């Protein structure tokens, strides 16, 4: 009986020892296979089942060389847009001729050093492309108007720019100064308030002469920067008649030679009342003139001069 118990004890001992060994953690490392007992963490190195350490080192070196086998390529616009998404859509929608490769301007991308604050050194200069100043040699501060270089045509109009408009727009500013009017008292942004190049409707401020009057009709008489200097070309009788309709009807129906004379022939300037002697000599006897010194004493309507009997 004692002998059987001893045999059973030995069998169970072998079983438990084998189970304990099989449960030990085995970790693969760069030095081989490492076994730890979990107590004093003493490593036990076994031979690697895959490949020798020297072979692993050679493989890693070859893989590293492959990473640098190709020369770097410039970033595409889409690659830049992955980070600079807002800028991408600004250029896409309002970039104008600035819809070019990012690196055409940003040749030193990502070289900004915040500790040195060197952004002025790395930011592109307008003169890289615009070698000749487009607005003259006396106006070189591009960013004073083109505040956002990615959308150069979107020049915001505000009071700060009002004094600088005349640097480029010398013609309109000269007219406003030479021909004073209520327009002269306004800043540029009063009319051109949305953006650079915006042409307002006259009816934003003014009442029209007739209902539904188009803006082009206003400008056919009133130069926008000298509105009191009403101008028109010869042969624009229909234009004059749009406002002076009663006079136009009398003139058009008159049997006299006046009906064939353009409005501007007599009225070279709006509101000007001409002298009859500008065109006519004195056709009447001097004694008659003593009694009727003015032509209009008899020829009551200058647009229909025959005397009504």
Predicted pLDDT at 19: 52
How much is the CA Rg of the chain, to the nearest whole Å? 47
Predicted pLDDT at 189: 81
Whether residue 76 is contained in a domain is answered as no
SS3 state at 35: strand
Whether residue 114 is contained in a domain is answered as yes
Tell me the CA distances in angstroms from 102 to 105, 113, 266, 301, 305, one per residue in order: 6, 20, 62, 72, 74
Whether residue 242 is contained in a domain is answered as no
Predicted pLDDT at 281: 82
Whether residue 56 is contained in a domain is answered as no
Distance, C-alpha 143 to centroid of its chain: 13
SS3 state at 274: coil
Whether residue 119 is contained in a domain is answered as yes
Whether residue 122 is contained in a domain is answered as yes
Predicted pLDDT at 44: 47
Whether residue 109 is contained in a domain is answered as yes
Structural domain boundaries enclosing 109:
105-130
- State the DSSP code for 40: S
What are the start-end ranges of the H helices in the chain?
A: 2-22, 53-67, 77-81, 85-94, 102-105, 119-122, 165-168, 170-178, 188-191, 215-219, 237-243, 245-253, 263-266, 286-291
Whether residue 136 is contained in a domain is answered as no
Predicted pLDDT at 112: 65
Predicted pLDDT at 9: 58
Domain count across the chain: 1
- pLDDT tens over the chain, length 309 residues: 555 565 555 555 555 555 554 545 444 444 444 444 454 444 444 444 455 666 666 666 677 777 787 777 888 999 999 999 999 999 999 888 899 999 888 876 666 667 777 777 778 888 888 888 777 776 667 887 888 889 988 877 765 555 678 777 888 888 988 999 999 888 888 888 877 788 888 989 998 887 888 888 788 788 889 888 877 766 677 778 777 888 888 888 888 888 878 888 888 778 888 888 888 888 888 888 888 888 888 888 888 877 655
Predicted pLDDT at 254: 85
């Amino acid at each position: 009986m004692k002998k059987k118990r001893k045999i059973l004890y030995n069998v169970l001992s072998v079983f438990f020892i084998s189970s304990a060994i099989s449960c030990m953690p085995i970790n693969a490392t760069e030095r081989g296979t490492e076994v730890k007992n979990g107590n004093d963490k003493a490593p036990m190195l076994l031979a690697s089942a895959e490949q020798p350490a020297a072979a692993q080192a050679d493989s890693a070196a070859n893989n590293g060389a492959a990473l640098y086998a190709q020369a770097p390529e410039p970033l595409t616009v889409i690659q830049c847009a992955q980070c600079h998404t807002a800028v991408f859509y600004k250029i896409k929608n309002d970039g104008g001729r600035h819809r070019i490769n990012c690196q055409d301007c940003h040749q030193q991308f990502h070289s900004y050093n915040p500790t040195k604050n060197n952004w002025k050194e790395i930011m592109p200069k307008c003169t890289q492309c615009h070698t000749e100043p487009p607005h003259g040699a006396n106006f070189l501060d591009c960013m004073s108007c083109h505040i956002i270089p990615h959308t150069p045509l979107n020049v915001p109009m505000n009071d700060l720019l009002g004094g600088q408009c005349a640097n480029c727009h010398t013609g309109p500013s000269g007219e406003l100064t030479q021909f004073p009017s209520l327009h002269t008292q306004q800043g540029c942004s009063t009319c051109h308030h949305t953006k650079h190049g915006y042409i307002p409707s006259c009816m934003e401020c003014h009442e029209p002469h007739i209902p539904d009057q188009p803006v082009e009709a206003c400008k056919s008489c009133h130069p926008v920067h000298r509105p009191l200097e009403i101008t028109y070309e010869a042969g624009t009788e229909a234009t004059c008649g749009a406002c002076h309709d009663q006079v136009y009807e009398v003139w058009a129906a008159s049997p006299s030679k006046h009906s064939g004379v353009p409005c501007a022939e007599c009225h070279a300037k709006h509101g000007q009342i001409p002298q009859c002697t500008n065109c006519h000599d004195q056709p009447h006897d001097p004694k008659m003139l003593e009694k009727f010194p003015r032509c209009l004493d008899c020829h009551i309507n200058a647009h229909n001069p025959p005397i009504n009997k």
